């Protein structure tokens, strides 16, 4: 099973909105509402930003939102801030036992 | 506060072995499935292995099946990954991660494994 497909990079100016796509198949993204998004700053561990497609954990700013249509999930960052510059990964539970989870290829977000 | 602290990484020669450990605290360890996820230098995240709360269900990525063994000791709040027959492509930061309702929620800080002669 291949990694989920994300754009390599997305950029925006402070205050703008950006959207990162995550495309999979009916065996992962399209088959379950178990899509998560992680933020990773250089040298740091990933941090959960969105779970079950569109839910935010406590402490995550509401400018982060998630959605899904068919086999593609999306993460939108509204009101982009300098501290949002990081790598972002999507992930989905899969119908297979191997892999149990599949991650996206990763997107580098640059705040101009 | 959930804390996951990995240890045991280091430099090992191809074909060698290494055992990673993860000490968990801040939650009822015995109630949760746990995972290992790795990240090669400059690359993306790759799920490696998962173990259910009572060790009844164990899963591996095809890339490590037959070489790696995941285990846990609920009495010690600890997760382990025994890695044998290591290859250069196993070089990565290995993260211990807690699973909640079929999603990976909490991550440790990671431990670096380097396979090189």
What is the per-residue pLDDT for A100?
A: 86
Q: What is the mean pLDDT of residues A89-102?
A: 88
Q: Quote the percentage of chain A above a pLDDT of 90.
A: 91
Which chain B residue shows the shortest CA-CA distance from A90?
B45
Contact across the interface for B103 and A36, Cβ inside 8 Å: yes
DSSP chain A: -PPBB--SEEEE-TT--EEEEEE--TTTTTT-S-EEEEEE-TTS--EEEEBTTTBPPTTS-TTEEEEEETTEEEEEE-S--GGG-EEEEEEEE-SSSSSSEEEB--EEEEE-
Which chain B residue shows the shortest CA-CA distance from A105?
B44
Q: What is the mean pLDDT of residues B91-102?
A: 95
Q: Are A39 and A24 in contact (CB under 8 A)?
A: no
The secondary element (H helix, E strand) that includes residue B65 is none
Q: How confident is the model at residue B101 (pLDDT cuts 50, 70, 90)?
A: confident
> How does pLDDT run across A45-88, given as a tens digit for each residue?
999 999 999 999 999 999 999 999 999 999 999 999 999 999 99
Q: How confident is the model at residue B90 (pLDDT cuts 50, 70, 90)?
A: very high
Q: Quote the percentage of chain B above a pLDDT of 90.
A: 97
Contact across the interface for A51 and B105, Cβ inside 8 Å: yes
What is the per-residue pLDDT for A96?
A: 81
d(CA A4, CA A25): 8
Among all chains, which residue has been given the structure tokens 């754009």?
A7
Eight-class DSSP state of B29: G
Contact across the interface for B108 and A100, Cβ inside 8 Å: no
For chains A and B, count residue pairs whose Cβ atoms are closer than 8 Å. 62
d(CA A90, CA A1): 15
């Amino acid at each position: 099973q291949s990694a989920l497909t994300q754009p390599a990079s997305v950029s925006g100016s402070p205050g703008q909105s950006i959207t990162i796509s995550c495309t999979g198949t009916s065996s992962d993204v399209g088959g379950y509402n178990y899509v998560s998004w992680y933020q990773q700053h250089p040298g740091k561990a990933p941090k959960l930003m969105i779970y079950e497609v569109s839910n935010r954990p406590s402490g995550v700013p509401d400018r982060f939102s998630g959605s899904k249509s068919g086999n593609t999930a999306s993460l939108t960052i509204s009101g982009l801030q300098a501290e949002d510059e990081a790598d972002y990964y999507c992930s989905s539970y899969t119908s297979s036992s191997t892999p149990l989870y599949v991650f996206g290829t990763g997107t580098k977000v640059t705040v101009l | 506060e959930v804390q996951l602290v990995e240890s045991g990484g280091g430099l090992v020669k191809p074909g060698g072995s290494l055992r990673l450990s993860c000490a968990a605290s801040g939650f009822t360890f015995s109630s949760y499935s746990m995972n290992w996820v790795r990240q090669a230098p400059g690359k993306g995240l790759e799920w490696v292995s998962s173990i259910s709360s009572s060790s009844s269900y164990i899963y591996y990525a095809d890339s490590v099946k037959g070489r790696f063994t995941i285990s846990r000791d609920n009495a010690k709040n600890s997760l382990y990954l025994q890695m044998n027959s290591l290859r250069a492509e196993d070089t990565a930061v290995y993260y211990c991660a807690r699973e909640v309702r079929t999603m990976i929620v909490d991550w440790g800080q990671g431990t670096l494994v380097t396979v090189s002669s």
